[in-house]
Each structure stands twice: as C-alpha cells, then as structure tokens.
Structure 1
Amino acid sequence: MSELQKDNISTPQQVKQNRSGSASFILIAALSLLLVAAAYCGYRFRALAYERKHIKEDYSLSNNITFGIFSVDRWGDKISAVVDRRVKGFNLNKSQKADMQQEVEKQLHGMVNKAVAEFTRPQKGLGAKLKKLAFNTFVDVKEIHALVPSFSRTIVTKVTSPKSLKKLKSVAVGKLNELEAQTYDLSDQTISSVEHNIYQKYKVNNATAFDKVVNSKLKQIKGLSYQYAIGMTACIIIALLLWLMLRRRVDSEVTLFVISLLFAFILLAVGVSSPIIEVDARIHTLEFALLGEKLVFTNQVLFFQSQSILGIIGTLIEQPKPDAVLVGILLMLFVVILPLLRLIARGLQVSCTELLGNSKFIRFLAFDLGKWDMADVMVVGIAMTYIGLNGILKSQLSGLNIDTEALKVVTINNSALQLGFFIFVAYVAYNIILSSILKRIDEQNGPCN
C-alpha cells in the first residue's frame, strides 16, 4: 500500500480527533466564561447582601425602641408638643364664655351671701352692733345681687381678651417647659448623636427623608440581588446542561468536572458567607390618645439580627460557654471545612494526579466522607429553626397587639429566610449531582493506578 493510500486512510481519524479537540476547546472556553460570570454574580450578590444588612442595621439603630417608646425624652417631646398646641390654640367660644359667666356669677353671689351672713350674724360688742346697724341701714343686698351679672360680664370680658389670653398662654407654656426640663432620662444626647451620624451618612436631615432613602435603597438592592442570584444559578445550570449534552462528544471530561467543582466552590463560598436568615420584630404603630390628639410612634424595632452561616459560627465561638464554642467548632468543621475538602479531593481523585490521585485518603475524602458532610443537615436545621422562631415571634408579638380608644398597638414580624439560604440549598443540590457524576466517572474509568 502506497504512502498516499495510508494518508487517505488516516485522514478521517485525524479529522474526527481534530473535531473532538475543537469541540472540547470550545466547550471548556464556554464553561470558563460561564465560571467567570458566575463568580462575578456571586461576588456582587454577596456585596449587595451585606450592604442591605448594614442599611437595615442603621435603620434598626435609628428606630430602636430604646430611643423611641422607652425614651422619656421622646414621650416628653410628643406630650409637650400636644399640650403646647392645645395651649396656643386655646380660645373660648360664645357658649363657653356664657358658661364661664354663669360660673363667675355663681361665685360672686356666693361671696355676697357670705359677706352678708358675716355682717348680719348676732353681735356681742357695741362696736360690732353698730357695724351691723350701719350695714342694715345703708346696704341693699338685693341691689348688690342685681349688680353681679354686670360684674361677671366685665370679669369674663377682661379675662378672655386677646391680651389676657396671651399672658395666660405664656404662663402656661413657661410652666410646661419648666416641667419638661425637669423630666428627662439623659437619652436625648445619645439619640441626637446617633441620628446625626446616621443622617449624615445617608445625607438626609430628618426621619421622613431617612425612611424614604432607606426604602428606596432596599428596593433597589432587592431587585439587583435577585438578578445576580438568578444570573449565578443560570450560569451553573447552563454549564451543567452543556456538559451533560456534549460530554460524549468531547474527550476532556476530567477538565469539565474540575470546572464544575469550581462552580460548586462558588456556590459554597457565597452560601456560607451571605446572610441566610433575618429576624426583624417591630411595633409597626403605637397610637396613644391625649387631649383629643394622638401620640404616634412608628416602626419601633424590638429586635433585629441578620446572620450568615459563618456569622453564626463566629458568634458561637465568641461565647464564653464551652458548649457553645464546641458547637461552633463542629459547625465549622462539618458545614464548611469538610465540604471544601471534599471538593478538593474530588478534583484530585478525578484527575488522577501522580502524587495524590491514587491516595486512599483522597479517595476516602472524595467518596466516603459524604456521611460526615452536614451541609444538607444544615439546610434542614436552618429551615426548622426559622419555622420555630417565626412561630414564637408571631405568638409573642400577637400578645402586644392592643386596640382600644385610648391605645392602639400594631406589631409586625418581618423575619424571613434570605437569598443566601437558597444559594446554600443550590450548593447542596449541585453537590448531589456532582457526587453521582463522580461515581459514574469512577465506574467508567476505574480507580487511579
């Protein structure tokens, strides 16, 4: 057979190999781009999650119940404002003036009767008897009583004149301010300092503007967080589908599996470091009726806490109790360290590296350590904790709800699982898929030699 014939025979095989190599390169390049996109989405998602957490922490500090309902200064300010408005807006209508005149007449008649009784009572001394005689001779009691209505009108007119009312209001406001100055709990300076720093941070001047800015930022962050979370999971799903559909047409299964492990690492890193649960209990509104007006407190935060898995572990380790520290260490080991070691071991096992690929320890980490990987148990634990905690909060907050004419209290429970929890759930599900793929690869290729 000539050399030309041999070349013609080998050409189809070379073409097939070239096509397979090109397909592998294109697939690896596509997966690499998806990996970079997923990493960027994960980074931005985590950054937005912590930005949201910090905003809500600032809001909960500014609206903390300690600086609101539990502050004597706040109550003093609100009560003073109501009384001040009532005093400054005080005016008498015709009916009230008539009632006042009747009361003045009654008092004047009583005073006249008392004076007459004093003079006309039996006297013992000569001087006293002369005074009684003079009184009976020159004083007409009926005439005095007849003058009482005109006296009362004059008194009421004088007292209710704008000048007199202004003086009375000034005296009342002065006494009110004096009383307010004597009633304090030394929290006003702290409140002012906290509000000044927070308002300066968000470039606002009052509580209304602060609420508006916070709500706007939180709404924007929520939308972006959903976009990045969906983008990250979409990249991983697309990568997985591409690999599953084209794995038989390419000969770089090991490289593709390693890239898939990197996707899993992104999910794990974002899942354990992003907030997974948020506890937010607050008094939505408190209305207290006073002098026909309502003293209103809104969005008084009773408790706020937002934690990631790493944050929970850190909190436990920082506790002075040894049992809490032990639980924190165990969570760190079984939820973070072991899953990470398993990802690394799977990569080494499937690549069959000369140094570690055939190690029994690596194979143990890759295949047999799954029973100690508690990531899936952590998912169930977080869900059960949320359900139990949410039920307790609803029960306790419902006991604070009051609806009467004098007092109305409405509580609200804004506790919720955060997107970080669902990212962690996605990691657990993706990890199960990788485990089945690794078993198939191991059965197909056999153990490393």
Structure 2
Amino acid sequence: MKTNQLSNIFLVILLVIISIAAFTTHSFETEKRTKKADLIELSDIKYGMFNIDQWEEQFAEIITKKLKELKLTGNDRKEARIKIQAFLYKSIDKFETTYKAENDRKAGYGFSLKNFGADFFKIFGELKQHVPVITEDIIDFLENDENRDNIKKYILEQINSYTDGTFQKIDYTTYNRIISKYNVTTENNCKALISIQLKTINDKQNIINSVLLIAFLCILLIILFEKNQSKFKITVYIVAALHLLVLGVFLPMIAIDARISSMELQLMGEPISFTNQVLYYKSKSIMEVSKVMLSQGEIKVMLVGVLVALFSVIFPVSKLISSISLLFKRSLKDNKVIRFLVFKSGKWSMADVLVVAIFMSYIGFTGIISSQLGQLENGIESLDILTTNKSELQNGFFFFLGFVMLSIFISQTIQKLVDKPKTA
C-alpha cells in the first residue's frame, strides 16, 4: 500500500513537471516564432536581390572604387593617352564622314559648298592636330579629385533617374519597424542580435524539452512495468497525454524554408553579391493549417480543413474523453462507440496516418524545393548561385508523435484494467 502511494505521489510530481514544462516550451515557441518571423522578413529577397536600392548601393561602391583606383601615371598614363587619342581620331573621322554625307544629300547639282569649304580650310585636319592637346586636357581632368567626384555624382544620378522611372520602390514600413523594435541602426546588426536571441531561446527550450522527454519516459516505464494499475494512475496518464496533444496541435509541425545562400556576379572586375535571400518561408501548426483551409471559401479546401481538424483534434480528444468515461464507468465497455475509440482506434488511428502524411509531405517538399533550387543554381552560367533548403520538422511534430504512441499504451492499459473482474 505504501509503495502504491509513493508511486501515486511520483506520478503527481511528474504531471506537475510536465504541466510547467509544457507551458514554458509553448511560451518559448511563441517568442521564438515572433523573432523568427522578424528575421525572415529582414532576409526576404524583396529587400535584397529584388530591391533596386541594393543594386544601386553596390553599383555606387564599384564606381567609387574604380574612380579612386584611376591613377593615370607612368605606363597607365601612356596607355590612356593612346586609347583616348585613338577614340578622338575615330570620332573626328566618323563626324567628318557623316557631315559630308549629309551635305552631299542636301547639295544641288552634286556640289556642296560646305564640303568644299571644310576641305579648303582643312577644318577636320586642324581638329586632328589638336587631338594630343585635348588628350592631355582630358587626362588632367580625370586626375582631378573634384572632377572625379562630379563624374561619380553624375553617373549615380543617371542610374537613380533611370531606376526611379523603371522599377517599383520597396515599402520599408515593416522593415523599419523591425529595425526600430530591436533598437539597432543597421540590418546586419539587427539580424545578428535576433540570431543570438533565437539561439538563447533554443538552448532554453531544448533543456525544457529534455525535461519533458525524461518525464514522459518515466510515465511510459510506469505504464509498461507497473503491475498495480489504478484509475488514478491511468487518469494521470491521460492528462499527461493531453499535454502532448495540445503541444502537438498548437505548435508548428513543419517549416518550409527555401532560400539562396549566395549569389555573385562580376561587374568591371568587381563582385556583386547577395547572401541569405529567403525565397519562401512558412511555419504552421495543425490548428493554423485547419483554420486557413476553413477560411478559404472553397468547398474542396474546406473539406480538407474539416478532415484535418476531425482527425487531428476532435478524434484524439474524443478518444481521451472516452477513455476517462470508460475508466470511471465500467458499464460503457459494451458501448460500441466507446470501445472503438478507446480500444480499436489505437491499432489504425488516423493520428498515425496524419503523422506519416506530414512526414511524407516534409520529404516531398524537401525534394521539390531542392530540385527547383538546383535548376536555378545550374541554369545561369554567368552567375554563381548557391541555393539552400532549410526546411525541417518542428517541435509540434514530435509532440504529436509522442501523443500517438502514448495513447496506444494507455488504451492497452485501460483494456487490461476494465477486463479484470470487479472484485479484483
């Protein structure tokens, strides 16, 4: 008798630990999802590769660097002189040809007075004689720091003018709100801060989840090896299983995360790069998936939402309620519905099917995303693209799987108890 009381006390302690740990891990998960959503938003591709402001910024850096590197001295000045002179001579020849052709077209009787004057006074020849002087003036102009800044300013103004009339501007409202929320000044600092906070939350949650795992393993061992099962003990088992069900239903089960880890291309010998660009991210719990489907307004989608809610929420809860009812009212063991929910469903529970379906969906999404991202990575020869699929199963999946397994053992324990003679 004393041993049985100690066992009951131990079960109550385990249940209290499970309740506190379940509440804590749910709180951690809520906080983690908020911070994760902020981090995903900052990493969204619309603020990176699809953001013309980012391209302008990288163009500006390259132009600034190239103008600073422009030192026309020694051999560089000699080479620049040759290229500029060749360009000026070619331009003058082209202008002369165009000029004379236009005058011939307008001339009457096949004679152009303008062309005769240009040849007589050797206008284009005189221009070519001044090419060396003009060349030196151009080189001196390019060497002046103030002129370089003006050139850079002009180029950037032209780029900005072009992009303003061509590309749609990004709405930074949400972006700025997140930056302000974490009291930082730059995107990189904000990402670093959120990542540190997420790691801290994950470490704490892993400890809590380890406590939950140990507690449920203890309950499972008691179910398997305790010979003197009682209504009280089985009730504790059922309440413990309810904790797993609630966590499994309300915590995210799967995260679909497709992103470009890095993209690089060369412009004027300088790299243009973007890193950690999120293409798609979704993290949903069973309840969230069901709610979204039911709100779509399409019969087929709503039907799937009803089935998800039925087999992942209503059916398991009904099973737990039926187990409690049968436990305290033995006469219900002849009720076909009760017997099905408590005993028969454990062998082919739709919960098992749901867990497997979610797992297979995860595998399927992984394959699809990896395949599509691989095509993106290999489809453009001029780009160096490294794609990443960070999809993963979430805590909700493992909690729901734990509920399914524990409920099967609880059903077997109840069956042994109710099948005993009442005098036992």
Measured against the shorter chain, the TM-score band is 0.7 to 0.9
SS at match of 2:376: coil
2:284 maps to 1:310: no
* Equivalent residue, structure 2, for 1:229: 209
1:366 CA displacement: 2.7
Amino acid at match of 1:218: L
* Equivalent residue, structure 1, for 2:109: none
Cα distance in 1 between the residues matched to 2:296 and 2:406: 33
Cα distance in 2 between the residues matched to 1:447 and 1:314: 48
* Equivalent residue, structure 1, for 2:53: 73
1:176 CA displacement: 2.4
Which of 262, 271, 279 is 2:248 aligned to? Answer: 271
Cα distance in 2 between the residues matched to 1:55 and 1:155: 59
Amino acid at match of 2:416: R
Q: Residues 358, 176 of structure 1: CA spacing in aligned structure 2 closer, same or farther, 3 A cutoff?
A: same
* Equivalent residue, structure 1, for 2:375: 399
SS at match of 2:185: coil
> Is the Cα–Cα contact under 8 Å of residues 271 and 424 in structure 1 kept in the other structure?
yes
1:365 CA displacement: 3.7
* Equivalent residue, structure 1, for 2:99: none
* Equivalent residue, structure 2, for 1:10: none
> Is the Cα–Cα contact under 8 Å of residues 159 and 165 in structure 1 kept in the other structure?
no
* Percentage of identical aligned residues: 27
Give the total of aligned pairs: 400
1:166 CA displacement: 2.4
2:163 maps to 1:187: no
Q: Residues 104, 438 of structure 1: CA spacing in aligned structure 2 closer, same or farther, 3 A cutoff?
A: closer
1:235 CA displacement: 0.8
> Is the Cα–Cα contact under 8 Å of residues 260 and 387 in structure 2 kept in the other structure?
yes
SS at match of 1:51: helix
SS at match of 1:401: helix
* Equivalent residue, structure 2, for 1:204: 184
> Is the Cα–Cα contact under 8 Å of residues 351 and 404 in structure 2 kept in the other structure?
yes
2:297 maps to 1:320: yes
Q: Residues 57, 71 of structure 1: CA spacing in aligned structure 2 closer, same or farther, 3 A cutoff?
A: same
SS at match of 1:160: helix
* Equivalent residue, structure 1, for 2:239: 262
Q: Residues 327, 100 of structure 1: CA spacing in aligned structure 2 closer, same or farther, 3 A cutoff?
A: closer
1:215 CA displacement: 2.1
Q: TM-score, normalised by structure 2?
A: 0.82
* Equivalent residue, structure 2, for 1:16: none
Which has the larger displacement, 60-69 or 154-163?
154-163
1:409 CA displacement: 0.9
SS at match of 1:295: strand
2:200 maps to 1:220: yes
1:108 CA displacement: 8.0
Cα distance in 2 between the residues matched to 1:109 and 1:401: 43
1:100 CA displacement: 3.6
1:283-302 residue pairs with structure 2 within 5 A? 283-302=260-279
SS at match of 2:49: coil
Cα distance in 1 between the residues matched to 2:225 and 2:75: 91
The one-character-per-residue Cα deviations of 1:232-252 (angstroms, maximum 9, x if unpaired) are 12112213324554443xxx6
The one-character-per-residue Cα deviations of 1:66-115 (angstroms, maximum 9, x if unpaired) are 2221222322232233223323443213112113444566768998xxx9
* Equivalent residue, structure 1, for 2:26: 46
1:386 CA displacement: 0.9
1:375 CA displacement: 0.7
* Equivalent residue, structure 2, for 1:121: none
Cα distance in 1 between the residues matched to 2:138 and 2:301: 76
* Equivalent residue, structure 1, for 2:352: 376
Cα distance in 2 between the residues matched to 1:347 and 1:217: 42
> Is the Cα–Cα contact under 8 Å of residues 276 and 308 in structure 1 kept in the other structure?
yes
Q: Residues 361, 398 of structure 1: CA spacing in aligned structure 2 closer, same or farther, 3 A cutoff?
A: closer
> Is the Cα–Cα contact under 8 Å of residues 322 and 341 in structure 2 kept in the other structure?
yes
The one-character-per-residue Cα deviations of 1:203-253 (angstroms, maximum 9, x if unpaired) are 2221221221222222223222222222112112213324554443xxx61
Larger Rg: 1
Which of 72, 75, 85 is 1:95 aligned to? Answer: 75
Which has the larger displacement, 47-56 or 239-248?
239-248
Amino acid at match of 1:173: K
SS at match of 1:183: helix
Q: Residues 385, 243 of structure 1: CA spacing in aligned structure 2 closer, same or farther, 3 A cutoff?
A: closer
> Which blocks of at least 5 consecutive residues in structure 1 are unaligned?
1-19, 116-124, 136-140
1:259 CA displacement: 0.6
Which has the larger displacement, 98-107 or 193-202?
98-107
> Is the Cα–Cα contact under 8 Å of residues 45 and 229 in structure 1 kept in the other structure?
yes
Amino acid at match of 1:394: S
SS at match of 2:277: strand
> Is the Cα–Cα contact under 8 Å of residues 72 and 80 in structure 2 kept in the other structure?
no
> Which blocks of at least 5 consecutive residues in structure 2 are unaligned?
97-112
Cα distance in 1 between the residues matched to 2:349 and 2:423: 23
Which has the larger displacement, 286-295 or 231-240?
231-240
Cα distance in 2 between the residues matched to 1:58 and 1:73: 21
Cα distance in 1 between the residues matched to 2:91 and 2:318: 99
> Is the Cα–Cα contact under 8 Å of residues 247 and 400 in structure 2 kept in the other structure?
yes
Q: TM-score, normalised by structure 1?
A: 0.78
Cα distance in 2 between the residues matched to 1:303 and 1:186: 21
The one-character-per-residue Cα deviations of 1:265-291 (angstroms, maximum 9, x if unpaired) are 111111111111010000111112111
Cα distance in 2 between the residues matched to 1:109 and 1:366: 93
Amino acid at match of 1:396: Q
SS at match of 2:282: strand
